[in-house]
Amino acid sequence: MFVENAIAQQLVALGCKLYYYSWNEEPKRDGGKPLAREIDFLTTRGFSDAAGRLRVCPIEVKSTKAYRTVSLDDFKARFDKRVGAEVVFHPKQLKVEGSRIFLPLYMAFCL
């Protein structure tokens, strides 16, 4: 919660409006509970592969070194054609995997 608030403050300082998205995925097995999913922040950016049109950029904030990005994976699968770059702020080093960018927590000002 504290790390998400710190990232939120940096994004607001950059002039970003903060949006949050949550939903329930269908259970994987019969009789199971719906699976709660959430995306911490949503922004929009223009993309060259979309003729400069805006696409949604989901942002996830992770405060520990061991984490999973299940919500981000499900969000991408659900809204694939409308999703641009996906950003994960985490306490590790910078890396890029396809359209997913993993940024160290201190680099939120670079967004």
SS3 99: coil
Residue 48: count of CB within 10 angstroms of its CB: 6
pLDDT band at 95 (very low <50, low <70, confident <90, very high): very high
Alpha carbons 6 and 36: distance in angstroms, whole number:
24
What are the pLDDT digits (tens) for 8-61?
999 999 998 889 999 998 887 887 888 899 999 999 877 766 666 788 999 999
For residue 52, the model assigns a pLDDT of: 67
Is 68 within 8 Å of 53 (Cβ atoms)? Answer: no
How many whole angstroms separate alpha carbon 39 and alpha carbon 25?
13
Res. 82: pLDDT tops 80:
yes
Q: What pLDDT is stored for residue 90 in this prediction? A: 95
Q: Using CA atoms, how far apart are residues 88 and 51, in angstroms rounded to an integer?
A: 25
- HSE-CB of 28 using CA atoms within 13 angstroms: 3
Interval 64-75: pLDDT, tens: 988 999 999 999
What local confidence, expressed as pLDDT, does residue 30 receive? Answer: 80
Instruction: Give pLDDT, residue 100.
Output: 94
